[in-house]
Structure 1
Amino acid sequence: MAINLQKGQTIDLRKNDKGESVYDLSQVTIGLGWDVRQKQSGFLGKLFGGKEEEYDLDAIAFLLDSNGKVANLGRTVQTQNGRHVGLYEGDVIFFNSMKHPSGHIWLTGDNRTGAGDGDDEQIIVKLDQLDQRYQKILFVVSIYQGREKNQHFGMVENAFIRAVDARGKEIAKYSLSGDATMNGKCSMVFSEVYRHNGEWKFRAIGEPYNTDNFVDILKNYTYQ
């Protein structure tokens, strides 16, 4: 049975709550889901067909070395429309660089609405094959253009991050619903997976940030 985590709680990813090694970590899915709190629609909203805003929550992963830093920040490339995109093919997995060069961790896609049940975004990682130089993976969630659109985690409910093993068994889940303490917070360090004595651990963090740009958080984890 999956473990529902509290903020700050840590578990062993391979073992269940009885200490039995039951989970297959050859491929682990880190799934993110959320709902947007529905606004109370008055008469005018109904009359003019008021439409709920879309919230674009982005899942990001930082691959950290033994010093807790991102060693490879990738490179800058020019896209077909002439834009310059940084952090490409480095140790940061995000919407502009969705697959790590090793092939052992990747982002499946970008869901812009949070509509529907289940995971809205997924990062998949082959933990058993991940190079030893990676000691920790930090999972960050940011609301795209949250500051500009006045969108924040206080407006998000039923947000969760969960770990599912290669056989589809849910290992752990950390749920977080927005409240007044989350007002104005546009990014969240949701959780981390890290090595400890040869085993992989999963820790629920839930640390909010004002910024809607994950690069501001990344600066805390670089050598530069």
Structure 2
Amino acid sequence: MNDRDELDPLARIRAAREREQLRVRGIINRDLMDRETDQRRRAARIEVAHGRFVNLQESRDTLPEEQLARDQFDPYETEKVEGTVREPIITVRRVDRVTKLFRAGVLDIEEFACCGWYRGQWERSGLDPLVASTFYPKFGDGPKTFGHLAKTATEAEARDEFRWSRRFVPDDVISLFDQVVLHDFSVREASRLAKCRYTNGSAAFRRGLLGLMVYVAPIIRSMPQRRS
């Protein structure tokens, strides 16, 4: 559209109509693609339910492009399932609170690694029904159940590590600490939910972190470093 067309009401109407047609055409095309993806997902989930994991990647849920563009997500690859032929799934994961604190410079690399280790043990343990442990070899239909006993050796080991490491976090800040590291609440929100007696929530969180690091930091330091 040139300068002359910009002054022409009919030209502006035609341009607006073309933009709307392109927008509608894009919605229709994306709807067709989403429908095909849903069909592949349903077929893959039927295969997974019958113990065939060739198309396991297709069985995962995906997020709409609008949400991926609006929120913060990082690439994420699940770990290989213990005792099965399932391969890891490549997906995305919302940036957690600890990662945001690290990127903001609130936590250093060792503090960040200790929090990540703590959360990793919790996720592997199967203790929280809201977290699907990828280490449980599910056979047949039916939802995963969470009971008192661990289902695999990995879950049992993770429970031992998680419970033992929690002993190093002071009792008066453990609830606040867990709300931040495990449940992604901000320090202010965690202070309110945990009814922390400390007026300075950040100091209370750091008190819990320093206690955790007494046990976890030597483990982190003993781990082999990845080559860049």
Query: Do the structures match in fold with TM over 0.5?
Result: no
Provide the TM-score with structure 2 as the length reference: 0.22
Provide the TM-score with structure 1 as the length reference: 0.22
Comparing both chains, which one has the higher relative contact order based on Cα–Cα distances under 8 Å and sequence gaps of 6 or more? 1
Larger helix fraction of residues: 2
Whose Rg is larger? 2
Larger strand fraction of residues: 1
